[in-house]
Amino acid sequence: MLTTPTKGAFLQKLGAMNPAAFSEQEEAEMLAAVEEIRELKRQKNAVILSHFYMPAELQVKHEDGGIADFVGDSLGLSAAAKNVEADNIIFCGVKFMAETAKILNPAKQVLLPSFDAGCSLAESITGADVRQLKAQYPGVPVVAYINTYAETKAEADICCTSRNALDIARSLGCDKLIFLPDLFMGRNLQTKIKAETGKELILWEGKCEVHEQFTPQRINGLKLMYPEAQVLVHWEVPDNTVADALTGAGGVVGSTSDIIRFVGESQNRQFILGSECDLGATLRGMYPEKEFIVPCIKCPHMKRITIQNTLEALRAIGTEKESLFQIRLEKEIMKRALAPIERMLAFS
């Protein structure tokens, strides 16, 4: 049974992150699941890693009465996964993130609550596509965004996340590099890099189906309604949005962590968020005194993960259902994908 203070702490945190009221029945079901998950984590020696795009109830930390042992962006989650000592990692994120966790900590069992949690970027490119690019541009280094599957990473020289892409691209001693698969992020990086170093990026045509929806019209319409607000946009939004997003009250274009840090350091009170809807919940939880205007565009892949299937994954550990949730990768692919991921982590 969840104790009254634990239940109170969870509901208070959840209320700050997600003011939408739950019905009495939904709340009772959620509290029952939270209670069982907390107990099963202990019994089955498991930890839960949760991305900032998860629904708010999956982002509340264990110490606040919730279920998450670590909440972070894709880089933070990779570093956390590498250091997990528990036998089982339940990954509340999408498949490419859970694969990265498995590659970094292969002795642990990594469980993904739903294998429908894909990603339009990861699905836009295969290992064979990268081999073809390498044949077309011999000797040009390949930087693979972490939003790729293991067989794609296995062909890359180095991986990056939105947090360290710029530093990695700057650091490579070459006048050209292949950046894949995000076209818009590549163009946004290119604008910075070319001005600084003259370096040219060869790009792929992948797009994030969430961030591509933050068109200039959408952001400019909100700026007219909230002229004092600063604008927070992820690297993955279209380059023509970035071109004028920061004109006016200012703001930031960057990674999820850059966005969080910028809000913390800004004296402004109001912000327009050009990123996934539930990052709005994260920001409300962290900065309750600030106001966030969030056009709520949800990643359908991230939302495949729920408190109920997280509970099912935990219940399955040690039963014949375990394999339904297990991340399994070929040894050879894991070995080849590890090198570019490790090179990336050296930049963190």
Which stretches of the chain bind ligand SF4, using CB under 6 A? 94, 119-121, 147, 208-211, 276, 299, 301-302
Out of ligand SF4, ligand 13P, none, what residue 256 binds, judged by CB under 5 to 8 A for its kind, is ligand 13P
The alpha carbon of residue 168 and the mean position of all alpha carbons in its chain are separated, in whole angstroms, by 19
Q: Which amino acid is at 308?
A: Q
Residues 184 and 234: their CA atoms lie apart, in Å, by 10
Residue among 243, 133, 136, 241 nearest 180 (CA): 133
182 binds ligand 13P (CB under 6 A): no
Out of ligand SF4, ligand 13P, none, what residue 162 binds, judged by CB under 5 to 8 A for its kind, is ligand 13P
Give me the least distance between CB of 38 and ligand SF4, in Å please.
27
Tokens of 284: 């409300």
Any bridge partners for residue 111, and if so which? 90, 326
Give me the least distance between CB of 27 and ligand SF4, in Å please.
27
Give me the least distance between CB of 209 and ligand SF4, in Å please.
5
Residues 176 and 119: their CA atoms lie apart, in Å, by 27
Contact of 111 with 326, CB cutoff 8 Å: yes
Give me the least distance between CB of 317 and ligand SF4, in Å please.
25
Residue among 237, 141, 140, 231 nearest 188 (CA): 237
Give me the least distance between CB of 138 and ligand SF4, in Å please.
29
Stretch 213-252 residues interacting with ligand 13P (CB under 6 A): 236
164 binds ligand 13P (CB under 6 A): no
Give me the least distance between CB of 276 and ligand SF4, in Å please.
5
Tokens of 326: 């297990």
Contact of 109 with 87, CB cutoff 8 Å: yes
The residue (of 38 and 207) whose beta carbon lies closer to ligand SF4 is 207
Out of ligand 13P, ligand SF4, none, what residue 255 binds, judged by CB under 5 to 8 A for its kind, is ligand 13P
Out of ligand 13P, ligand SF4, none, what residue 120 binds, judged by CB under 5 to 8 A for its kind, is ligand SF4
Residue among 123, 150, 55 nearest 93 (CA): 55
Residues 77 and 49: their CA atoms lie apart, in Å, by 7
| Chain residues that interact with ligand 13P, rule: CB under 6 A | 73-74, 147, 161-162, 208, 236, 255-256
